[in-house]
Structure 1
Amino acid sequence: MKFTNKLIGFIIVCVLSSIGVVLLGGGVSLRGLAIETQKQNISRLIDVMDEQLAMEDSEPRFAFWLPELLRAHSVLQLTVEKDGIVSYDFDGRTADTEGATSFLKEYHFELKANSDFKAKVIMLSPYYAMEYPPELFTGVSTGLLIALFGLVIAIWLLKKGMYGAELLSTRSYKILNGEHIKVAVGSEFEWPKATSRAFDKLIADLEDTKQERSRFDSYMRTNAFVDASTGIGNRDFFLNQLEAMLSDPGVIAGTIIKIELYELSQLNYNHGVASVDEMVKSVSELLSKFVERFTGSVLARYRGDQFTILLPRVTGPESEIVMKQLYKLLTRISLFTPVDCDELFYTGVAIYHYAERAEEVLENVDQALKIAVLQGCSGWFLYEQEEQTPVYAKGTVRWRGLFERTFKNNAFYYEQQLILSMENKQVLGHEIYPRLKDENDEWVHAGVFLPMAEKCGVLKRIDQLTVERAISNLEQGEPISCGINLDIQSYLDKRFMRAVYLDIIRLPVRLRAMLHFEIHEYQINRNLEMLLEPVKNLKALGCCIAVDMVGQDVVDSSYIKKLDVDIIKIHPSLVRDLHKRQINQLAIRSILGGTVNLATIVIAVGVESKGEWDALNKLGVYGAQGHFCNQVRVLTE
């Protein structure tokens, strides 16, 4: 009601000032009128004196009757002079009037008939000794009461009339604060009505536009990285994921599989495109269900007749076991076309390693596929090459022993990577990851040992240590935002999260806002409803929510509003060679479009070159994280 209160205050001041001015002006006018009346009455006496003096008697006749008349008119002194000689002097002052000097009025007259005579009159003010009975102020008081009553009625009517305007003003402030969804439909009491209806229409149009843009962004991302026929990733999507894995030190090695549907063009000719498309969709669905069991796996339609699969951390004998299982599924698939499965599927398999070139990996798997085709009859071939046994190839028992020693000796280390602002390269915060050393005193990356920690059932213990380390950094170190990435099962474990809440509560409020909890986008897509409660609790405590791996898969971005996400972190696969890939720039634009009119900021992860930095800056990304920004640093105890 600020506007109405100001207006009412202004009106009250104006009305009261007007009343005061009228009363003051009336009082001044009455005073002047009374003095002028008194002066006119004395002037008539002076005229009578003037006539008496004109008779030229030795003693003026008025000397006998004038004193009583002067006393009746409250005249205290009358002096008549001629050329400085006093001709008549009257002094009616008494002891009662001696103390009323401030109420004396002095008048000077020049006689008309006797111009050489001058008269000076000193008398009491007309207000002296005047009584003021309440009856005299009845009219004025009545007028004031009527004016005040009218003012109160006017204020009441004004408030009633301006109530709708205040509602509209309050709604305007909420719209400016980004809460337009909450006030999409205005109150029926809003005024002016036309403005209220205009707000309703504009907000509705804005929501329609945002939904249309969201649909357009999803459409663009889908057409950029998803195969229209099968709904899985396309060639561009696969190449992005492959290069990201080859540059990820957490994925030391893995398996790439290329499956070819032999002579697909001939099948289209023999059985019709529609029937063959149904068969391809069946194969795609089977492969999608198959790869779900592998963490971080990628499935894509590389070409019309080829599917590719990436299985990180699957190598050696494990690759052969996986291929045997996959081959059995392919040979037992129910097809809509009468095709012999023994002559349909040919599969090439190769092992890739960290820092290997993508072209070499694709060449190896293509070579394996050619050999599989030459062997005849549906089958698969594993491209053999010399490889070192990766650290994660050790058995579960050995991993469990390594974890127990690490817990016992409190030997977990943490590496830190800074996040810089794209605008001025100022530090926005950092993200920490756990690290450990194996029996050979070699560093083991989090991406290597965390999957094994999940198998050994100790991942939540590691997550708890990570939370404690982040809180300790905020309490003891420089107050800077700290991001931590916990496993999805930790977020969904109420007992685990209750312990995290207790740890957070001991932090001051200003430090809680610097604690960023990160969740993988694909995990959000699978567990959105279950994540609502823990995310809501973390937000209530003042923490920030960040979503990483954004863009790795094409998913619905409605979670941004549902979870009130603060930070979005783009997957490195979209950032790699961004300045050379228009389709990746299009995908990042769509991600940025999903945050329009929101407080969510977008940060790119995996920035490795100046070209990528410049491209991201041009697109309007808020911050960046990667080796181009700074090298990873291991935190000391």
Structure 2
Amino acid sequence: MKLTQILTRKLTSFWLMSLAAVAFIFLLIALVSFTQLTYKFQLQKVTELETMLIHHYEHENNQSLSSWLPSILKAYNALNLQITAKDEIIYSYQSDMPRTEGMSYQRPLLKSEDLNLKVTLPQPFTMYSLSWYELLILVIGLTSIIFFVRQGQRWLSNELQGIEDLAVRSKLILENEYEKALAEKGDGRPRLINRALTHMLLELDDAEKQRARFDQFIRSNTFLDPETGIGNRLFLKNRLDALSNDRGMMAPGVLFLLEMEDMDLLQQELGDDSIDEMLNQTISDINQILDSQANSIFSRRSFNQFAIVVPQISLKDVEKLAAKLLKVCLSQTLPVTDNNEDFFHIGAAYFKVGDTKEQLLDESERALRAAQFQGSSGWFMYDKGAVDEELAKGSVRWRSFLEYALVNKRLVVFSQPVVDSDMETQHFEISSRIRDNKNNLIRATLYIPMAIKCGLTPQFERQVIEMVLFDLLSDPKDKTTKYSINLSLDTLLSRAFIRWLKTSLLEYRHLTPRLIFEINEDIVVHHQSQLKDKLDMIKKMGASLCVDRVGQQVVSTQYIKECHFDFIKLHRSIVTQIHLRQENQLFVRSLIGGLYRTDVQVFAEGVESFEEWQTLKILGVSAGQGSLFSDPVEEV
């Protein structure tokens, strides 16, 4: 926009200088004309005086010149006059006025008698002086000219400012800053063009929202149960795949199977409305319980069977959760039937790291059958001995251990590359583990949930950022490598952490462009209003933003543009065996299509096979991360 502003200033300056030049030339011509007229008028007086003297001498008038000539000379304001005949002065006149410089004129009167006239008159323009009202008129005239010229300049500047407003909006549109262009309505002229731009931007904004709703519709019809709105069987399969790898489950947790006995027969007897009302109320109450369980999964396996997966939970908490679920189920108002007391059954299978998905599903189904054999509504857990010993530690012991790790800097940083389609490293994602007193590494999936319970997450993530700034980014030979760091909800909502982060990013602003901060999609969607200002602050400081685990939940992707994310990272449940799953490919196509004309890049995590990577590249994914490229490597 600097070019248009320069052109505007040049145009208004040229217009003003043109008017000033015209006014100056006009005044100059008036002055010259006034001077010439005064000289001409004085010359006319000299000619008249010459005519009277010639007439006097030609008619040999006996009347002396002294009788009539001095009065005429006084009327002409003559300074002096001499009439000579053959170089002899025959008449002389000298004015009583103070002696000043004047204009001298010499004329021959009678050539026969060799008479010559020499008369001196004052400078012609000094004979005229302006009165006070003439000066007032002159001042008013000049002031009016200056005022109207200034008003004309302002008018022209305002008209050209409208063109600049249009140029600003056009530049924002070309830079894909549609929201800013819509906000910059201004006073663009021509107004018809300005209104047309506003109308098109509103239509585009509505189209993008429609596209986001369409994407959500595709995802909903792919992964959600149409009757209840929770995940379907495919959704459960994807999430279980994401929680496991070829070595089995990657974290401990529990799988509940909830079955409603003979619900199909009950529906035939009572009709759809009463069963749907009871079913929706039950699902709503269970969702309220699961809100406190991070990364929990709730899906429908069949008409009357539901699955609940809760990772990172201890056996003691599993028993409490199972009791809550059963209590919610029993509190539902059921139609009066013969089997009211034998309607809800819950089977639970606690799994630990290394258990297979098939084993988990088999154990949960056995537990469900055992619960049904009890003869009344209840729950049953399969193999209570399968408890992760580390997760069974008391919260007091965990707090002491985590505080010890923070004070003694027992945190160990690992990095895993994110590789683009040319097999070049786009950036490294940072993860962390804790080294205990026996020199064993405690994985993040184990200690982070306990850090969240103890309220120590901001301290751990601050220590990770410090290690990246001071150790990884301090290498003077490396000026390009970027690192991504995960931030949790507790950290982003911590005022102390945000103040520290702002200060650190300002202090190390030369390193800030090499930092990428990753936030879970579920956190962004459910706390967007709380996080918007904090994410904007990080962006303004120069760091990049990435939202990870995209596709884990069925939500609208409009938040990606509203929060100005630079990267999005697909959840491993979408990536796993994507070359065999058309519905996952459809989701990725829809997601990338919705980000058309934006600079947002799509990455994928959990890439484990060449077929997955090839399919992702064909779909338009920019980079991938997973064991296919490299496992996490210890850095610090």
Whether the aligned pair in 2 keeps the contact of 1:186 and 1:196 (CA below 8 Å) is: no
- Farther-moved stretch of structure 1 (577-586 vs 333-342): 333-342
Give 1:578 deviation, angstroms.
0.9
Aligned to 1:442: 440
Q: Deviations over 1:500-552 (max 9, x none)?
A: 22222211x34212112222111222222211222222222212222112211
Secondary structure of residue in 2 paired with 1:183: helix
Aligned to 1:20: none
Alpha-carbon distance in structure 1 between the residues aligned to 2:415 and 2:521: 22
Give 1:605 deviation, angstroms.
1.2
Aligned to 1:182: 180
Give 1:609 deviation, angstroms.
1.1
Whether the aligned pair in 1 keeps the contact of 2:162 and 2:190 (CA below 8 Å) is: yes
Alpha-carbon distance in structure 2 between the residues aligned to 1:529 and 1:444: 34
* Match 2:449 to one of 425, 448, 451: 451
Give 1:590 deviation, angstroms.
3.0
Give 1:305 deviation, angstroms.
0.7
Q: Deviations over 1:257-311 (max 9, x none)?
A: 1111111110111110111111111111121112222222111112221111111
Give 1:319 deviation, angstroms.
3.0
Go from structure 1 to structure 2 and tell me whether the alpha carbon gap of 1:266 and 1:473 turns closer, same or farther (over 3 Å shift): same
**5 Å matches for 1:236-315?**
236-247=234-245, 251-315=250-314
Aligned to 1:530: 530
Alpha-carbon distance in structure 1 between the residues aligned to 2:161 and 2:287: 60
Alpha-carbon distance in structure 2 between the residues aligned to 1:160 and 1:448: 65
Alpha-carbon distance in structure 2 between the residues aligned to 1:440 and 1:598: 50
Go from structure 1 to structure 2 and tell me whether the alpha carbon gap of 1:541 and 1:379 turns closer, same or farther (over 3 Å shift): same
Go from structure 1 to structure 2 and tell me whether the alpha carbon gap of 1:171 and 1:457 turns closer, same or farther (over 3 Å shift): closer
Go from structure 1 to structure 2 and tell me whether the alpha carbon gap of 1:620 and 1:161 turns closer, same or farther (over 3 Å shift): same
Aligned to 1:136: none
**Which letter does structure 2 place at the counterpart of 1:602?**
V
Alpha-carbon distance in structure 2 between the residues aligned to 1:448 and 1:153: 74
Whether the aligned pair in 2 keeps the contact of 1:249 and 1:445 (CA below 8 Å) is: no
Secondary structure of residue in 1 paired with 2:614: helix
Alpha-carbon distance in structure 2 between the residues aligned to 1:192 and 1:529: 37
- Farther-moved stretch of structure 1 (389-398 vs 208-217): 389-398
Aligned to 2:558: 558
Q: Deviations over 1:41-73 (max 9, x none)?
A: xxxxxxxxxxxxxxxxxxxxxxxxxxxxxxxxx
**Which letter does structure 2 place at the counterpart of 1:482?**
Y
Whether the aligned pair in 2 keeps the contact of 1:251 and 1:312 (CA below 8 Å) is: no
**5 Å matches for 1:400-419?**
400-419=399-418
**5 Å matches for 1:606-625?**
606-625=606-625
Aligned to 2:207: 209
Alpha-carbon distance in structure 2 between the residues aligned to 1:441 and 1:499: 31
Whether the aligned pair in 2 keeps the contact of 1:186 and 1:200 (CA below 8 Å) is: no
**Which letter does structure 2 place at the counterpart of 1:544?**
S
Give 1:173 deviation, angstroms.
1.9
Aligned to 2:145: none
Aligned to 2:507: 506
Alpha-carbon distance in structure 2 between the residues aligned to 1:401 and 1:154: 78
Whether the aligned pair in 2 keeps the contact of 1:579 and 1:612 (CA below 8 Å) is: yes
Alpha-carbon distance in structure 2 between the residues aligned to 1:289 and 1:388: 26
Alpha-carbon distance in structure 1 between the residues aligned to 2:513 and 2:335: 56
Go from structure 1 to structure 2 and tell me whether the alpha carbon gap of 1:164 and 1:358 turns closer, same or farther (over 3 Å shift): same
Go from structure 1 to structure 2 and tell me whether the alpha carbon gap of 1:600 and 1:331 turns closer, same or farther (over 3 Å shift): same
**Which letter does structure 2 place at the counterpart of 1:399?**
W
Q: Aligned residues: percent identity?
A: 29
Aligned to 1:378: 377
**5 Å matches for 1:23-34?**
none
**Which letter does structure 1 place at the counterpart of 2:307?**
T
Whether the aligned pair in 2 keeps the contact of 1:217 and 1:590 (CA below 8 Å) is: yes
Whether the aligned pair in 1 keeps the contact of 2:248 and 2:357 (CA below 8 Å) is: no
**Which letter does structure 2 place at the counterpart of 1:503?**
S
Alpha-carbon distance in structure 1 between the residues aligned to 2:558 and 2:242: 26
Alpha-carbon distance in structure 2 between the residues aligned to 1:313 and 1:162: 64
Structure 2 unmatched runs, 5+: 19-149
**5 Å matches for 1:186-201?**
190=188, 195-196=193-194, 198-201=196-199
Give 1:6 deviation, angstroms.
6.8
Whether the aligned pair in 1 keeps the contact of 2:345 and 2:377 (CA below 8 Å) is: yes
Go from structure 1 to structure 2 and tell me whether the alpha carbon gap of 1:174 and 1:389 turns closer, same or farther (over 3 Å shift): closer
Whether the aligned pair in 2 keeps the contact of 1:517 and 1:543 (CA below 8 Å) is: yes
Q: Deviations over 1:336-394 (max 9, x none)?
A: 66675421112221123334332332222222222332333222222228646442222
Aligned to 1:342: 341
Whether the aligned pair in 1 keeps the contact of 2:566 and 2:600 (CA below 8 Å) is: yes
Aligned to 1:330: 329
Whether the aligned pair in 2 keeps the contact of 1:252 and 1:390 (CA below 8 Å) is: no
Alpha-carbon distance in structure 2 between the residues aligned to 1:302 and 1:183: 47
CA-atom RMSD in angstroms: 3.4
Whether the aligned pair in 2 keeps the contact of 1:255 and 1:349 (CA below 8 Å) is: yes
Go from structure 1 to structure 2 and tell me whether the alpha carbon gap of 1:268 and 1:5 turns closer, same or farther (over 3 Å shift): same
Go from structure 1 to structure 2 and tell me whether the alpha carbon gap of 1:292 and 1:3 turns closer, same or farther (over 3 Å shift): closer
Structure 1 unmatched runs, 5+: 17-151
Whether the aligned pair in 2 keeps the contact of 1:224 and 1:583 (CA below 8 Å) is: yes
- Farther-moved stretch of structure 1 (588-597 vs 607-616): 588-597
Go from structure 1 to structure 2 and tell me whether the alpha carbon gap of 1:404 and 1:588 turns closer, same or farther (over 3 Å shift): same
